[in-house]
């Protein structure tokens, strides 16, 4: 639902940008193997521009997953973590950008969390080890997440140079590009860390056990 | 010694036993050893599976504990927030819970980097940082590693919060205690070996001497997993080396070993027992072999010795008939054989030295005896007496060999009796005997010879036939007549011939006789040549008609002029020819030459009848008649032209034979004349049967017939008798006219003598005939 909203929102931005004679910058993010990298944060800092205003966001825990699994918000945004499961969750993050814990709550926590530092925040649940969420907190005026094809289109002012940054949890450092004015096509290859195996979500999280220990080969 | 039957039997038995026993021993031992090793191998296989399973379980346990630690919220928080103090205490707490011997944690920035454990030194960080990459890749990394000289089972896990914020490590030390527990489960000795450095290092072991484990590992290849029998310090082990936790790249090896020396203990005991049994069996076999072999070889040894004795000519020791049947039989055969050999040898020896018939010593012994006596020291004179029977051949021929043999046997007996003690009586062969006096001079020899002659000449009765034997004895004296057996015997022989020809009972060799004898031998040789190459000539003495009418006859007389000795008288060489067996050659030559001459005269117109003399020995020649006739035919002469003259004594030597031969000639027309009639003691009865045409009155009656009244009576009655029997009478040796006249008056048909003519050559005869015809005319 939020996804759709985001897409709709993006489309609206695109429509407006077009009307403002803004050209969309198309960014295609691949990994070192040439595979598209979805859910990467792509951010643009035009040489003059301001960060958008903070806004409300929500990352729900539904079906023992974060929903959406990856989100991006502007610095200073408040994010609500509504629990839509019957089980309690214990949401936490030890990321440098934001460390917090919402212990054993049901329904909507008492207050949303405000993310006031840019960075990648990984979200986990102490009760359900497989749950994994990513929240990019950015001060970029323009930003977006790559889709399944690793692509994202962002509105940039046509006559401005800009800085482009890409974030990803498996990218040790942010990938930065300085782009010329009017440069609208970016195909970016990232060198990603290999994914760390993590507990998979059980088929039926309320009845089956998760598997941690991989027996030796 | 190994050749002897005894040792062979013993050795064979022993060899058989050793081979069979050895084979059994080897088979049993090989099978047993194999079985023991198989069992130990099986123990190692099972033990290895048990140990590896146990180690896997431990790892799994470790892994679980590590996972619990890594997901502990407080721990995660401490790692994520680089809270090293909290991390340290959390590790200690969690590690203690699961009994880990090594715990560690680290974040990527190494703000937190620590390790805790009994083997961890000061300032030590995360022990195996290189394991983190693999842990990231597959979620956990499990290994068995050496840390601070100890083997550790290690698990490294990423710490997820939920992003990977660091790593944690947990380790179990596998020390002697752990290994002992494992060894207890496996039932074999275990060692952990580090093969990383120069040569294997034993990290932990249940073996009392860790060096043994290192040595065993050193003999195995690093990645070899075969179970092998190895030897260390004189002891055998069954050993296998395998990587721990299925990590062949690591330098740790699990060595499993079974002390075979101990496992093989029953095997060694059995080996000793079987060996002892074989040794005992061999001893028994040797005993049995010696016993059996002795039973066989001892009698054979005795037989061998007996054979040796027989070979040396000792025939008188009997073999005892002990032992088994075959040996007894063999011994019996040996005894029989040696008796037979002894008997045969005695017989052969006797035969070699004795005459078969008379059992007297033979020529060999005689020669040896003479030689021995000649060699006597001091030399002693002795004599050799040779005895020859006259006309023994005649007795043999007429009375048969059986009687001849018996005669010889009887004579041998007499001879032996006549000889003195110490004399040797021998038969040299045929009718020749010899007595060798042990000693004695001429006088004694003559005495003995006389006695022998007397003994032998006595009448003797053989198969109811009374026989009297004439013997001739010749004596040679040693050393006077010879210093070697051959000379003595030859000279005795010569003396014997002298006695025979002189009709003496015995004769002693006279010096020179031998030379004469040799001269005769050379004459014989020359005569043989003369007959062949015309060295002989014929003279012809006319034999004229005294009364009445008749043809002219001649008597062919052979003459020999020797190139060296000149004229040799027929009285000398004809006996030699007879002696040498050449008489028939001589006679043939005379007949052929006479016939040739007759034919020649025929051609000259002179018709002559001729007479030739034949010897008594010619009468024995069955082919004489045919040869005479053939010669006559060849010369185309009437058979009546030839007259064969035979002396009365020659006829009387064998009247039957003479009658047969002469009849054959006469029937074919050849004339036959009896020569020297009146000297041969023939009876009228015999004369009557004789196939003759003519009598020649012997010259002894003719020469003095004119003066001697007795001769005249004899001639007169002979002529009358002959004429009555239809025979012609010839007088030979007419030397006086008075004699010729008287003989003519007495009725002699023909005459011959010096008065009429001496013997003439063929040419002279022609001349003579011409003169006669002139006279007559």
pTM here?
0.48
pLDDT digits (tens, 9 = 90+) for A69-104: 999 999 999 999 999 988 888 999 999 889 999 887
pLDDT at position B427: 92
Residue A14 pLDDT > 80:
no
Residue A11 pLDDT > 70:
no
d(CA A189, nearest CA chain B) in Å: 21
pLDDT at position B434: 92
**Helix, strand, coil abundance in chain A, percent, nearest 5:** 10, 40, 50
- Between residues 283 and 302 of chain B, which touch chain A (CB distance below 8 Å)? none
pLDDT at position B610: 92
B43: phi then psi, degrees, rounded to nearest 5: -60, -40
Question: How would you write B459-501 as a 3-class SS string?
Answer: CEEECCEEECCEEEEEEEEECCCCCCHHHHHHHHHHHHHHHHH
- Between residues 134 and 153 of chain B, which touch chain A (CB distance below 8 Å)? 136-140, 142
pLDDT digits (tens, 9 = 90+) for A99-122: 999 887 787 777 889 999 999 999
Residue A155 pLDDT > 70:
yes
CA A108 – CA A62 distance, rounded (Å)? 12
Residue B58: its chain A contacts at CB < 8 A? none
CA B714 – CA B408 distance, rounded (Å)? 42
CA B591 – CA B578 distance, rounded (Å)? 17
B624-634 and B655-667 are packed helices; what angle lies between their axes, rounded to 10 degrees?
A: 20
Q: Do B139 and A99 touch (CB under 8 A)?
A: no
Q: What percent of chain B has pLDDT over 70?
A: 97
pLDDT at position B642: 92
Q: Do A169 and B161 touch (CB under 8 A)?
A: no
CA B456 – CA B460 distance, rounded (Å)? 8
How many residues appear in chain B?
A: 777
- State mean pLDDT over B104-131: 88
Of B64, B80, B160, the CB nearest to A213: B64
Per-residue confidence at B521, pLDDT binned at 50, 70, 90?
confident
- Between residues 355 and 394 of chain B, which touch chain A (CB distance below 8 Å)? none
Half-sphere exposure of B492 (CA within 13 A, CB side): 33
**Helix, strand, coil abundance in chain B, percent, nearest 5:** 55, 20, 25
> Measured between CB atoms, does B86 come within 8 Å of chain A?
no
Q: Do B139 and A196 touch (CB under 8 A)?
A: yes
Q: Do B139 and A94 touch (CB under 8 A)?
A: no
Q: Do A216 and B63 touch (CB under 8 A)?
A: yes
> Measured between CB atoms, does B53 come within 8 Å of chain A?
no
pLDDT at position B338: 82
> Any idea what the Cα angle at residue B506 is, between residues B501 and B512, rounded to 5°?
65
pLDDT at position B39: 84
Q: State the Cα torsion B541-B546-B550-B553 to the nearest 10°.
A: -10
CA B770 – CA B202 distance, rounded (Å)? 162
CA B166 – CA B80 distance, rounded (Å)? 7
Residue B71: its chain A contacts at CB < 8 A? 129, 212
A-B interface: how many C-beta pairs under 8 angstroms? 67
Chain A positions contacting chain B at CB under 8 Å are 92, 94-95, 99, 122-126, 129, 131-132, 169, 193-194, 196-198, 212-217
| Residues 6+ away with beta carbon under 8 Å from A137 | A72, A73, A74, A75, A77, A97, A98, A115, A117, A118, A119, A120, A121
Residue B234 pLDDT > 60:
yes
Residue A12 pLDDT > 60:
no
Per-residue exposure over A46-65, b if at least 16 CB sit within 10 Å of its own CB, e if not: beeeebbeeeebbbbbeebb
Of B140, B160, B161, the CB nearest to A214: B140
Per-residue confidence at B1, pLDDT binned at 50, 70, 90?
very low
> Measured between CB atoms, does B160 come within 8 Å of chain A?
yes
Which two structure tokens, joined as six digits, stand for B630? 């053939």
Residue A145 pLDDT > 90:
yes
CA B410 – CA B403 distance, rounded (Å)? 10
CA A165 – CA B519 distance, rounded (Å)? 169
d(CA A185, nearest CA chain B) in Å: 31
pLDDT at position B548: 67
- State mean pLDDT over B247-266: 78
Q: In what order do the strands lie in the sheet with A41-46?
A: A142-145, A41-46, A162-167, A175-179
Contact B740/B761 with Cβ under 8 angstroms? no
pLDDT at position B675: 87
Of A126, A196, A212, the CB nearest to B67: A212
Which two structure tokens, joined as six digits, stand for B99? 């009994």
pLDDT digits (tens, 9 = 90+) for B619-656: 887 788 888 899 999 988 898 899 999 988 888 878 88
ipTM: 0.79
Which DSSP symbol is given to B551? -
Per-residue confidence at B179, pLDDT binned at 50, 70, 90?
confident
Residue B324 pLDDT > 90:
no
> Measured between CB atoms, does B504 come within 8 Å of chain A?
no
Q: Do A129 and B80 touch (CB under 8 A)?
A: no
How close are the terminal C-alpha atoms of chain A, in Å? 42
Nearest alpha carbon to residue A27 among A42, A49, A15, A12 = A42
Residue B455 pLDDT > 60:
yes
- State mean pLDDT over B299-303: 77
Report CA-CA distances (Å) from B675 to A163, B548, B598, B602, B620.
Answer: 191, 22, 21, 26, 18
pLDDT at position B547: 72
d(CA A27, nearest CA chain B) in Å: 26
Contact A127/A103 with Cβ under 8 angstroms? no
How close are the terminal C-alpha atoms of chain B, in Å? 117
d(CA A28, nearest CA chain B) in Å: 25
Per-residue confidence at B599, pLDDT binned at 50, 70, 90?
very high
Nearest alpha carbon to residue B409 among B352, B461, B368 = B461
Per-residue confidence at A6, pLDDT binned at 50, 70, 90?
low
The string of DSSP codes covering B624-675 is HHHHHHHHHHHTT--GGGEEEEEEHHHHHHSHHHHHHHHHHHHHTT-EEEEE
Q: Do A198 and B162 touch (CB under 8 A)?
A: yes
Residue B598 pLDDT > 60:
yes
Q: Do B67 and A213 touch (CB under 8 A)?
A: yes
Which two structure tokens, joined as six digits, stand for B59? 């790892």
Q: Do B139 and A169 touch (CB under 8 A)?
A: no
Per-residue confidence at A18, pLDDT binned at 50, 70, 90?
very low
């Amino acid at each position: 639902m939020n996804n759709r909203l985001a897409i709709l929102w993006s489309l609206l931005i695109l429509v407006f940008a077009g009307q403002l004679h803004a050209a969309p910058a198309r960014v295609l993010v691949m990994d070192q193997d040439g595979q598209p990298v979805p859910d990467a944060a792509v951010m643009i800092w035009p040489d003059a521009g301001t960060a958008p205003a903070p806004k409300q966001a929500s990352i729900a825990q539904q079906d023992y997953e974060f929903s959406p699994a990856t989100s991006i918000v502007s610095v200073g945004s408040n994010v609500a973590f509504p629990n839509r499961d019957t089980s309690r969750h214990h949401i936490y993050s030890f990321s440098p950008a934001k460390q917090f814990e919402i212990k054993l709550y049901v329904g909507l926590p008492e207050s949303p969390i405000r993310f006031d530092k840019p960075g990648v925040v990984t979200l986990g649940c102490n009760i359900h080890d497989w749950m994994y969420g990513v929240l990019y907190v950015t001060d970029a005026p323009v930003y977006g997440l790559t889709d399944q094809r690793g692509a994202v289109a962002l509105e940039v002012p046509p006559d401005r140079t800009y800085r482009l940054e890409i974030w990803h949890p498996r990218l040790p450092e942010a990938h930065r590009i300085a782009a010329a004015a009017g440069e609208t096509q970016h195909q970016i290859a990232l060198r990603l860390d290999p994914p760390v195996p993590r507990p998979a979500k059980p088929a039926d999280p309320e009845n089956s056990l998760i598997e941690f220990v991989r027996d030796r080969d | 010694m190994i050749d002897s039957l005894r040792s062979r039997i013993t050795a064979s038995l022993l060899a058989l036993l050793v081979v069979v026993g050895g084979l059994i021993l080897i088979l049993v031992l090989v099978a047993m050893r194999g079985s023991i090793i198989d069992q130990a191998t099986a123990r190692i296989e099972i033990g290895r599976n048990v140990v590896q399973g146990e180690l896997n379980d431990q790892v799994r346990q470790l892994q679980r504990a590590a996972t619990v630690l890594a997901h502990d919220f407080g721990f995660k928080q401490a790692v994520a927030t680089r809270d090293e103090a909290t991390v340290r205490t959390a590790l200690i707490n969690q590690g203690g819970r699961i009994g880990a011997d090594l715990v560690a944690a680290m974040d990527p920035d190494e703000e937190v980097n620590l390790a805790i454990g009994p083997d961890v030194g000061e300032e030590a960080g995360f022990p195996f940082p290189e394991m983190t990459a693999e842990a990231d890749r597959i979620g956990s990394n499990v290994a068995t590693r050496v840390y601070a000289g100890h083997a550790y089972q290690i698990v490294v896990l990423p710490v997820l919060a939920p992003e990977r914020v660091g790593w944690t490590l947990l380790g179990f030390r596998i020390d002697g205690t752990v290994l002992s527990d494992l060894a207890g489960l496996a039932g074999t000795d275990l060692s952990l070996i580090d093969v990383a450095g120069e040569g294997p290092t034993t990290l932990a072991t249940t073996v009392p001497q860790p060096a043994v484990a290192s040595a065993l590992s050193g003999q195995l290849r690093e990645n070899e997993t075969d179970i092998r029998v190895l030897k260390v310090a004189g002891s055998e082990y069954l050993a296998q080396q395998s990587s721990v936790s299925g990590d062949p790249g690591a330098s740790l090896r699990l060595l499993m070993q079974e002390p075979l020396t101990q496992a093989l203990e029953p095997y060694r005991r059995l080996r000793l027992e079987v060996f002892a049994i074989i040794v005992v069996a061999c001893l028994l076999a040797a005993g049995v072999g010696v016993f059996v072999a002795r039973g066989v070889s001892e009698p054979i040894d005795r037989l061998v010795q007996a054979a040796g004795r027989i070979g040396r000519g000792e025939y008188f020791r009997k073999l005892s008939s002990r032992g088994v049947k075959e040996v007894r039989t063999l011994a019996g055969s040996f005894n029989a054989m040696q008796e037979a050999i002894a008997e045969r040898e005695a017989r052969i020896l006797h035969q070699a030295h004795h005459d078969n018939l008379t059992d007297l010593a033979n020529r060999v012994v005689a020669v040896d005896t003479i030689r021995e006596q000649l060699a006597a020291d001091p030399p002693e004179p002795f004599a050799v007496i040779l005895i020859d029977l006259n006309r023994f051949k005649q007795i043999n021929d007429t009375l048969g060999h059986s009687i001849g043999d018996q005669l010889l046997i009887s004579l041998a007996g007499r001879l032996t009796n006549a000889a003195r003690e110490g004399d040797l009586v021998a038969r040299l062969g045929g009718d020749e005997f010899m007595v060798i006096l042990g000693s004695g001079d001429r006088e004694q020899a003559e005495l003995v010879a006389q006695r022998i002659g007397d003994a032998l000449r006595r009448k003797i009765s053989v198969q109811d036939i009374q026989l009297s034997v004439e013997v001739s004895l010749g004596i040679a004296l040693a050393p006077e007549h010879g210093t070697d057996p051959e000379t003595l015997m030859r000279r005795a022989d010569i003396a014997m011939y002298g006695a025979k020809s002189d009709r003496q009972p015995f004769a002693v060799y006279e010096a020179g006789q031998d030379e004469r004898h040799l001269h005769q031998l050379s004459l014989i040789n020359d005569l043989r040549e003369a007959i062949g190459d015309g060295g002989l000539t014929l003279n012809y003495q006319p034999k004229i008609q005294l009364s009445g009418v008749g043809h002219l006859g001649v008597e062919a007389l052979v003459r020999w002029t020797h190139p060296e000795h000149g004229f040799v008288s027929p009285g000398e060489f004809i006996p030699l020819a007879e002696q040498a067996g050449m008489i028939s050659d001589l006679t043939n030559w005379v007949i052929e030459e006479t016939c040739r001459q007759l034919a020649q005269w025929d051609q000259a117109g002179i018709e002559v009848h001729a007479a030739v003399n034949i010897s008594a020995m010619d009468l024995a020649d069955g082919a004489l008649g045919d040869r005479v006739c053939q010669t006559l035919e060849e010369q185309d002469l009437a058979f009546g032209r030839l007259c064969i003259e035979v002396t009365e004594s020659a006829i009387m030597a064998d009247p039957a034979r003479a009658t047969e031969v002469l009849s054959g000639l006469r029937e074919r027309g050849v004339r036959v004349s009896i020569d020297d009639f009146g000297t041969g003691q023939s009876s009228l009865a015999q004369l009557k049967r004789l196939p003759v045409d003519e009598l020649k009155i012997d010259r002894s009656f003719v020469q003095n017939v004119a003066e001697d009244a007795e001769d005249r009576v004899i001639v007169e009655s002979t002529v009358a008798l002959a004429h009555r029997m239809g025979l012609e009478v010839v007088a030979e040796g007419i030397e006086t006219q008075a004699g010729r006249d008287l003989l003519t008056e007495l009725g002699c048909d023909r005459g011959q003598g010096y008065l009429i003519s001496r013997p003439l050559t063929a040419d002279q005869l022609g001349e003579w005939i011409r003169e006669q015809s002139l006279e007559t005319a």
